[in-house]
Chains A and B, each alone.
Chain A
Amino acid sequence: EDQVTQSPEALRLQEGESSSLNCSYTVSGLRGLFWYRQDPGKGPEFLFTLYSAGEEKEKERLKATLTKKESFLHITAPKPEDSATYLCAVPIRRGGATNKLIFGTGTLLAVQP
């Protein structure tokens, strides 16, 4: 069964304290892995897509990496504005063309000044 698991559920960091979020997946035929950021009262906002093991993507203080079984979202010297829920998801093809996303349960990140 296709499954995505994220850890930790919640993470509290001091401003400037680097850390990593984990997303492990069990999917037959991975067709990419997505990272999203979700702020309270808003929809998920796209951050990165990773397609193959060894791939890395960076955006400001965030770097996403991918292995054959998991992905990491590294946060370097975070700021309070990085506080949000971070979601990872994998697309699953159904109906020949349409993709649905299987989401993890998310990591709620709080960065304190």
Chain B
Amino acid sequence: DTAVSQTPKYLVTQMGNDKSIKCEQNLGHDTMYWYKQDSKKFLKIMFSYNNKELIINETVPNRFSPKSPDKAHLNLHINSLELGDSAVYFCASSQVGREQSYTFGSGTRLTVV
């Protein structure tokens, strides 16, 4: 009965590889997000999708490409991984007009070696 689920939880890969992270929510929310948490625990938004439409793209390198096949899913594909991409990536969802509905997944720890 997990509300926002991400896979995988851990991802270790070499520089230059391409990888994807998947996210699914079963809360019926219409908006989904990707956040990045750096080594200092600072959380910053990357993307937001509302009803499968990209709404927010916070100056993220175009090596990062989100895809939302439907309202309940938001995936993140990363091309040509770099050392600086190492971080924890969180998926979240919310319902428009209900800010308190914001719910986060448990995160994907990406390590690029």
A interface with B by C-beta (< 8 Å)? 31-32, 34, 38, 41-46, 49, 85, 87, 89, 91, 94-95, 97-101, 103, 105-106, 108
Interface size on B, residues (CB 8 A): 28
Partner of A49, one of B44, B45, B100: B100
Q: Are A98 and B31 in contact (CB under 8 A)?
A: yes
Partner of A91, one of B42, B90, B99: B99
Which residues on the A side are within 8 Å of B102 (C-beta)? Answer: 34, 46, 91, 99, 101
Q: Once the chains are docked, how many angstroms separate the CA of A41 from the CA of B6?
A: 13
User: Known contacts A34-B102, A42-B106, A46-B103; is A94 also within 8 Å of B43 by CB?
Assistant: no
Q: Are A100 and B105 in contact (CB under 8 A)?
A: no
Majority secondary structure, B binding face: strand
Q: Are A41 and B50 in contact (CB under 8 A)?
A: no
A34 to chain B, nearest CB (A): 7
Q: Are A41 and B45 in contact (CB under 8 A)?
A: no
Which residues on the B side are within 8 Å of A99 (C-beta)? Answer: 31, 94, 96, 99, 102
Interface residues of B in 6-63 (CB under 8 A from A): 31, 33, 35, 40-45, 48, 50, 55-56, 58
Partner of A41, one of B31, B56, B94, B106: B106
B interface with A by C-beta (< 8 Å)? 4, 31, 33, 35, 40-45, 48, 50, 55-56, 58, 90, 92, 94, 96-97, 99-100, 102-107
Which residues on the A side are within 8 Å of B44 (C-beta)? Answer: 103
User: Known contacts A100-B48, A105-B40; is A43 also within 8 Å of B56 by CB?
Assistant: no
A-B contact pairs, 12 of them (CB 8 A): A41-B106, A44-B90, A44-B104, A49-B99, A49-B100, A91-B99, A95-B50, A98-B48, A98-B55, A99-B31, A99-B99, A101-B45
Which residues on the B side are within 8 Å of A32 (C-beta)? Answer: 99-100
Which residues on the A side are within 8 Å of B45 (C-beta)? Answer: 100-101
User: Known contacts A91-B99, A97-B50; is A44 also within 8 Å of B43 by CB?
Assistant: yes
